[in-house]
Amino acid sequence: MAEPELIFFYGTLMRPYPTLERLGVERLLAYRGWDAVAGRLYSLDRYPALTLEEGWVRGQVFELLDPAALAVLDRFEQYLPQDPAGSEYLRRLLPLKSGAASAWVYVFNRPTTGLAPVPDGDWAAQQGQTIPWDDFFASRTIE
């Protein structure tokens, strides 16, 4: 039997934020728990950016029940497989800290000069749920 395909979220795609529901992919994913991946987290104000630097980023792991979810998530994260240089994020397969498996992770594809690092690599702990969600979704509209 094949290993389940996993995806790791570290920002507004995590529970209990309403993003997965609003994107219509909540039923295409199954929550598997908390873990971490190697990297460093920066704040872009409304959402975070993970880079492949030293450190750990805490987040949630989901199983992809339907690969159609990836196309929706790729558009939301502005990942363009046919144009990596033009993508805000790249989707990369990274090992989970637990050693249990690897998961897809959206890695920031822009310079981080001037961006504030997120303490302890834990965006949810820093932000809570203080984001005005309608404004956030308006800023991340997918076509």
**3-state DSSP assignment of residue 138:** helix
pTM, 2 dp: 0.87
Q: What pLDDT score was predicted for residue 143?
A: 47
- List 117's β-bridge partners, or say none: 42
Contacts of 131 (CB under 8 A, 6+ apart): 12, 46
Q: Which of 61, 67, 81 is nearest to 2 (CA)?
A: 67
Which tokens sit at 13?
């795609």
Which pLDDT value is given to residue 128?
59
Give residue 53's Cα distance to chain centre.
16
> Which domains are delineated in the chain?
6-139 (3.10.490.10)
The reported pLDDT for the residue numbered 3 is: 74
Q: H or E element: which one contains 137? A: helix 133-139
Q: What is the pLDDT along the chain (143 residues), one digit of tens a residue?
A: 467 799 999 999 998 888 999 999 999 999 999 999 999 999 998 899 999 999 999 999 999 999 999 999 999 999 999 999 999 999 999 999 999 799 999 999 999 999 999 989 998 888 754 444 445 545 555 54
What is the identity of the amino acid at 12?
Answer: T
